[in-house]
Structure 1
Amino acid sequence: MKNTGIALMLVCAVMFFSFQEKKPCVAVNEIKVNAPFGVVKIKVPDFSKCIRINITELGAVAGDKVKTGEAIAAAIDKANKAGGGVVVIPEGEWLTGKVHLKSNVNLHLNKGAVLLFSEDPADYLPAVHSTWEGMECMNYSPLVYAYKCTNVAITGEGELKAQMNVWKEWFARPSAHMESIKRLYNLAWDRAPLKDRQMVNDTAHLRPQFIQFNRSQNILLEGVTITNSPFWTIHPYLAKNVVIRNIKVYAHGHNNDGVDPEMSQQVLIENCVFDQGDDAIAIKSGRNPEGWILKTPSKNIVIKNLTVKNGHQLVAIGSELSGGIENVFIDSCTVVEGAKLNHLLFIKTNERMGGYVNNIYANHIKSGKIDLGVLGIETDVLYQWRTLVPTYEKRLTPIKNVFLKNITSGEVKFVSRILGQKELPVENVWLKKITTGTVQEKKHIHENVKGFMEKP
């Protein structure tokens, strides 16, 4: 009996200390950001009191994709099971395949570290729950993927880099690819279950996002450099409490937006540098039935102190916006002289989207020459979908309350071009203290607009 009692005490002690080890070490701080629509409160994870795990301790070998990938996965698992931890990528170049984050894990890249991602599509299988242009599907894993995670971070002074030779070949849109996205569109329209939306085959070539935070919350992306991307670079999807700051992004391929917050809320993007082949920031909220079913608007998004070296727009809203987009504040951003840019702000939708756009503010923006204009609002942007599929159901997008002030730019074709729909005009667009260089065509090109106001 005495031995039994001692054994029981030992078991209890082990259970107690195991529980203690798993107690989360991650603190959650709240930051407050002022915006014209109110104070945005965002929860940010803090890993300063967590264990640090160097991937070399778990077998990472420079140049060995398999061993390094296994070591990163093991370190992430260890940090997660410990209740939180920092997975350290040391100085040097580390070849790997996909990286799947878990809750309470900070992937930290030391100065001089390069996490180099394989270009072999097989390294991003099995397929995961992801998206393609606003439609959910089972597709190649994003290179860095967080699914249903809480308290995740990617930090440091190092670099995440994608090899592009294979993905570049996939930029092309041959008939097999177009048929695949048409099939996905129709599956989404029919509300097909996710298991039926398998998009990995020999011909679909739906490129994965570089970093996707999917259905996750309390997210920090800070300090790192991100180079190249197969598709959208940073994609918070159905995410809450997202802080992206002090990062540098260079990606000049097809669909290479910088950040695409989609159906995401409480988002801060600040002090970043973007050099993009597409939009610097593109705010989205699902395509057609996806947005209508999920009913999660992108809202309470603050974008400040950005430097844009190239991009289609400083900020685009849409065209996937079926869940709605509201409360966006763009403040104190600069587009450098000589940058390739179409608009500073471009709101785009079409007769199939529905959703809504409301309360969009831009203030203190400086730019060199703009190929088109300061503000563009268009309601008939369909791209490839115009001929791929018909309009199954017509749902117009109410667009109202767009305010721009203290904007300076170089030469433009127009200051504003607003092409609303006769059945649903764009409402309440105010421009104040907008100064540009030469206007090549016409200052304002407007159709179906109510409540436009311009003040010096």
Structure 2
Amino acid sequence: MRLLFLSVGLIFFLMSACDVSKNKVLVKEIVVEAPFEMAALSVPDFSDCRRFEITDFGAEKGNIDKTTKAIAEAMKRASKNGGVVIIPEGEWLTGAIHFRSNVNLHLEEEAVLLFSENPEDYLPMVYTTWEGMECYNYSPLIYAYGCKNIAITGKGLLKAKMDIWRTWFPRPEAHMAGLKKLYNMAAKNVPVDKRQMVGSDANFRPQFIQFNRCENVLLQGVSIENSPFWVIHPYICNNVVIRDVNVFAHGHNNDGVDPEMSRNVLIEDCVFDQGDDAIAVKSGRNQDAWRLNSPAENIVIRNCLVKNGHQLLAIGSELSGGVENIYMTNCEVVDGAKLNHLVFIKTNERRGGYVKNIFVNDIKSGKIDKGVLGIETDVLYQWRDLVPTYERRLTPISNVFLTNVTSSGAKFVSRILAQEALPVENVVLKGVRVDTISGERYIHENVVGFEELEDFEQ
């Protein structure tokens, strides 16, 4: 009898030890080749972690309250030792999802997370951003703040209902007043907790996915449809991998991916079909970014396909923290994609910051509306007359290299419009070929060290 008791105890101990091993988040390293020094990326691996089905926590199809609470409880349980929160096949209506560390949100094939369009489902407010300025606003649909080792994976669909959000796309007087209010608070360094942008008609739309101040982030395999604002927004993050993601979002400000003030980022094997820029590298706006002092750096984009958008690669205009070491390679833009530029760097006299070491290689494109390369230093959009320039800081831009880039048609190859006080420096094009150019090949103002070579070495 005593032997049996000891045997049962031993079995229980071994099972417990096994369970512990099943609750460990591993971290793998990814070595990325780039024309600049870049450390190996660290990403989480949940293959040895427990799985937590949301139906075990009370999720019901069509019941937003039960499903939202079930996901939150599953996240809480999974986070204790590391775990995978499973969204099973079917459509699951939910409100905001707030991540915890050491959690993988996994959507099984044919699973749909359908996010409510009701702004009330994204309250209370969270610490977030609006176009490079920090504030408290509606929660992003999926929000992670200060998390480590997190992932969204699977072959399912993340979809936003747009019934209300699309009515917020216009910029009526109340919205413009909200923009002005936030700009002035940021310019005067009003504490972020005082910048509360909910409760008026400013209608600041939330991002779909925001990873805010996170480390070791993986987004892989899922499809994303519709978004109130920017689609994927890694903000002040380190070690981010976005892989095999399909984006379809044709609303206002629907950038595909906006890595902002983030470093060590890999974006690969993705398909972008959206209403704004495909990849927009940013580093904050004006005084907020000068305060945070966190440049966007070491970002690699490769093997991506773009079906629609404004630019293939945009840098700015929120770039006040600085942008350096960006490498895009082996990407394609389909014919008829309606892009303005393949590469567009934009800033203005309020931004400061800097842009340097931009490498774009092996790009194929159909006809584009404007040109292969655009650099403009006086881009202010609606802000030009809305608010004043509190402090004038120009943006040094240098070391921009485009190699083996082809397009079937464009108005120009490059248009560089810079200030006389601070010319753009060292722009080199090698093997850039446009079949039909309808205007001038180059439109340049205040450029030092521009060079175009017909051929390049393989």
TM-score bin (small chain): over 0.9
Alignment-derived partner of residue 311 in structure 2: 313
Q: How big is the shift at 1:196?
A: 0.9
Give distance in 2, aligned partners of 1:163 and 1:202. 22
Which of the residues 187, 197, 200 maps onto 2:198? 200
Give distance in 2, aligned partners of 1:72 and 1:56. 9
Residue pairs, 1:48-59, within 5 angstroms: 48-59=47-58
| Matching residue's letter, 2:271 | V
Give distance in 2, aligned partners of 1:241 and 1:28. 11
Give distance in 1, aligned partners of 2:412 and 2:425. 19
Give distance in 2, aligned partners of 1:391 and 1:128. 28
Post-superposition CA distance 1:258-302 (Å, at most 9, x none): 000000000000000000100000000000011111110000000
Give distance in 2, aligned partners of 1:388 and 1:143. 29
Give distance in 1, aligned partners of 2:87 and 2:193. 35
Which of the residues 221, 231, 234 maps onto 1:233? 231
- Contact 2:404–2:430 (8 Å) recurs in 1: yes
- Contact 2:21–2:48 (8 Å) recurs in 1: no
| Matching residue's letter, 1:307 | L
2:101 is paired with a residue of what secondary structure?
coil
Q: Does 1:390 align with 2:382?
A: no
Q: How big is the shift at 1:22?
A: 10
Alignment-derived partner of residue 3 in structure 2: none
Q: How big is the shift at 1:40?
A: 4.1
| Matching residue's letter, 1:155 | T
1:409 is paired with a residue of what secondary structure?
strand
- Contact 1:288–1:322 (8 Å) recurs in 2: yes
1:410 is paired with a residue of what secondary structure?
strand
Residue pairs, 1:69-218, within 5 angstroms: 69-81=68-80, 83-218=81-216
Post-superposition CA distance 1:198-227 (Å, at most 9, x none): 000130100000000000010000000000
| Matching residue's letter, 2:112 | V
Alignment-derived partner of residue 37 in structure 1: 36
Alignment-derived partner of residue 435 in structure 1: 433
- Contact 1:142–1:211 (8 Å) recurs in 2: yes
Q: Does 1:274 align with 2:272?
A: yes
Q: How big is the shift at 1:39?
A: 3.7
- Contact 2:23–2:48 (8 Å) recurs in 1: no
Post-superposition CA distance 1:357-390 (Å, at most 9, x none): 0000000000000100000000000011101011
- Output the aligned Cα RMSD: 1.4
Alignment-derived partner of residue 4 in structure 1: none
- Is the deviation greater in 36-45 or in 25-34? 36-45
2:374 is paired with a residue of what secondary structure?
strand
- Contact 1:155–1:223 (8 Å) recurs in 2: yes
| Matching residue's letter, 1:209 | Q
Alignment-derived partner of residue 5 in structure 2: none
Give distance in 2, aligned partners of 1:273 and 1:22. 36
| Matching residue's letter, 1:104 | N
Identity %: 65
Post-superposition CA distance 1:223-273 (Å, at most 9, x none): 000000000000000000000000100000000000000000000000000
Post-superposition CA distance 1:28-77 (Å, at most 9, x none): 01111011113442101000000001101111000000001111000000
2:165 is paired with a residue of what secondary structure?
helix
Give distance in 2, aligned partners of 1:403 and 1:38. 17
- Contact 1:139–1:200 (8 Å) recurs in 2: yes
1:72 is paired with a residue of what secondary structure?
helix
Alignment-derived partner of residue 9 in structure 1: none
Q: Deviating runs (4+, > 4 A) in structure 1?
A: 20-24
Give distance in 2, aligned partners of 1:444 and 1:236. 35
| Matching residue's letter, 1:45 | P
- Contact 1:124–1:141 (8 Å) recurs in 2: yes
Give distance in 2, aligned partners of 1:31 and 1:195. 37
Q: How big is the shift at 1:23?
A: 9.7
| Matching residue's letter, 2:59 | A
Q: How big is the shift at 1:437?
A: 1.7
Alignment-derived partner of residue 324 in structure 1: 322
Over 3 Å counting, the alpha-carbon distance change for 1:220 and 1:103 in structure 2 is same
| Matching residue's letter, 1:66 | D
| Matching residue's letter, 2:179 | I
Give distance in 2, aligned partners of 1:46 and 1:37. 27
Over 3 Å counting, the alpha-carbon distance change for 1:393 and 1:22 in structure 2 is farther
Give distance in 2, aligned partners of 1:160 and 1:85. 20
Alignment-derived partner of residue 416 in structure 1: 414
- Contact 1:24–1:104 (8 Å) recurs in 2: no
| Matching residue's letter, 2:141 | L
- Contact 1:252–1:276 (8 Å) recurs in 2: yes
1:254 is paired with a residue of what secondary structure?
coil
- Contact 2:130–2:204 (8 Å) recurs in 1: yes
User: What 5-or-longer segments of structure 1 have no aligned partner?
Assistant: 1-12
| Matching residue's letter, 2:190 | A
| Matching residue's letter, 1:269 | I
Number of aligned positions between the proteins: 440
Post-superposition CA distance 1:8-39 (Å, at most 9, x none): xxxxx99xx89x95996000011110111134
Alignment-derived partner of residue 64 in structure 2: 65
Give distance in 1, aligned partners of 2:270 and 2:233. 15
Question: If the length of structure 1 is used for normalisation, what is the TM-score?
Answer: 0.95
Give distance in 1, aligned partners of 2:320 and 2:409. 34
Q: Does 1:285 align with 2:283?
A: yes
Give distance in 2, aligned partners of 1:301 and 1:435. 25
| Matching residue's letter, 1:302 | V
Over 3 Å counting, the alpha-carbon distance change for 1:333 and 1:118 in structure 2 is same
Post-superposition CA distance 1:89-141 (Å, at most 9, x none): 00000000000010000000000000000000000000000000000000000
Give distance in 2, aligned partners of 1:190 and 1:200. 20
Residue pairs, 1:244-255, within 5 angstroms: 244-255=242-253
Give distance in 2, aligned partners of 1:149 and 1:328. 25
- Contact 2:331–2:364 (8 Å) recurs in 1: yes
Alignment-derived partner of residue 4 in structure 2: none
